[in-house]
Amino acid sequence: MKQLHKLWASALLGLVLSGTSAAAWASNHMPFILGSVESADLQSVVTKTQAALQSNGFEVVGSYAPNADTQVLVVTNNALKALAAASEKGGFGAMERVSIVNRNGQVQVSYTNPVYMWNAYRMKGDIMPVQKAMQSALGATKEFGAEKGLSAEELREYHYKMMMPYFDDEDELAEYGSYEEAVKKVEAGLASGRAGR
């Protein structure tokens, strides 16, 4: 029985690999990649990072600053949008986040690992062009963000802990007739300050 299970697993892996690059499956992955560290002021690195992303085909679709020493960029490109459209819950993986953080005069640029997210969100297609474009734009010094990396298989079956839903069992909080109605309700709820009550 164990041999049959291994045979099925090998066949399934072969089918998956036929539709994407083996590099996305070959090793363990961490959730974040440190691109670079440099001595500079935060805003100049933000400007430089935006230019590098745009010259590598990315579009900055949002940004926010959780504190004075941190800027987060939300980016996408045509390849990510296509992958998102091809996968049932691909919308979760349609964006990448890039953080630019000033730590005592050393500005670190890091980003969510495309291969990690692609596996965690169980997306189809070939993520490697996105991975290579992010590395070309921002560098790739090291992966980080977890005690140990997870394999593609582990990420695609990831379960945070017992009694919590798997990724494909997400809890639906509400349903609305249109996107606009949903946004209004969410914004009204946030403005009311009712969180945690």
pLDDT tens for each residue of 157-185: 876 677 777 767 777 888 999 999 999 99
In a domain? residue 96? yes
Residue-range definition of the domain harbouring residue 88: 14-156
In a domain, 195, yes or no: no
What is the CATH number for 34? 3.30.310.70
Contact call for residues 109 and 33 (beta carbons, < 8 A): no
Partners of residue 108 on adjacent β-strands: 37, 101
Indicate whether 108 belongs to any domain: yes
pLDDT in tens, 3-50: 444 444 444 444 444 445 555 556 789 999 999 999 999 999 999 999
Our count of domains for the chain comes to: 1
Instruction: Compute the distance between CA of residue 72 and CA of residue 111 in angstroms, rounded to an integer.
Output: 9
Assess if residue 6 is contained within a domain.
no
**What pTM was computed for the model?**
0.77
Residue spans of alpha helices (H) in 19-113: 23-26, 42-55, 78-86
Query: Is there a domain that residue 8 lies in?
Result: no
Strands (E), 40-159: 59-67, 70-76, 96-103, 106-112, 142-144
Q: Is residue 165 part of a domain?
A: no
- Structural domain includes residue 193: no
